[in-house]
Structure 1
């Protein structure tokens, strides 16, 4: 986070929309408050419907081991339903839409 007075920003590509993601919300929840719909289903880190690639930034998870392999984590994949932005983040979510 470049400005300590604001929550991290999440930019969704290729949509080009950004929203604030306070640490009290997952990225998926924050997107909903910003009128963006990311793919979703279980909302607990198991179904992988929301799987997307993080191209920059850092997240932490609300659960101990989300449904990602070590390789997927190393390649930058995240599960927004259980991920909380620790810094400004850019994700690739081609199926995201404004609502």
Structure 2
């Protein structure tokens, strides 16, 4: 199964397979997606979740503030549905 991810405001879309993170799928699709550490520390890949649902492997990487702000750590996140994400530095 795969899910459709749309990145705003760039209006870029790509598909993510069950076993891959959002970041891995974006890079596979040739999208210039900001990233550095791939461990949820640098926050380069963090997007704001506009719609849909994501899941993480344990331990849960999100703080309460991250959850309130709807932040998605794309290097660690797996989609649980189609998603709309916002990242201001990704351009089409």
Q: Same fold (TM over 0.5)?
A: yes
The one of 25, 28, 31 aligned to 2:23: 28
For the pair 1:19 / 2:8, whether they are aligned, the reply is no
The one of 80, 85, 89 aligned to 1:91: 85
Q: Structure 1 or 2: larger strand share?
A: 2
Equivalent-residue separation in structure 2 for 1:48 and 1:84 (angstroms): 16
For the pair 1:47 / 2:42, whether they are aligned, the reply is yes
User: What TM-score do the two structures reach when normalised by structure 1?
Assistant: 0.84
The root-mean-square deviation of aligned C-alpha atoms, in Å, is 1.4
* 1:95 Cα deviation from its structure 2 partner: 1.1
User: Are 1:63 and 1:82, in contact at CA under 8 Å, matched by a contact in 2?
Assistant: no
Equivalent-residue separation in structure 2 for 1:14 and 1:24 (angstroms): 26
Q: What is the aligned residue count?
A: 92
**Unmatched tracts of structure 2, length 5 or more:** none
Equivalent-residue separation in structure 2 for 1:41 and 1:53 (angstroms): 18
Residue number in structure 1 paired with 2:65: 71
* 1:63 Cα deviation from its structure 2 partner: 4.1
* 1:58 Cα deviation from its structure 2 partner: 0.4
**Runs of 4 or more above 6 Å deviation:** none
Residue number in structure 2 paired with 1:37: 32
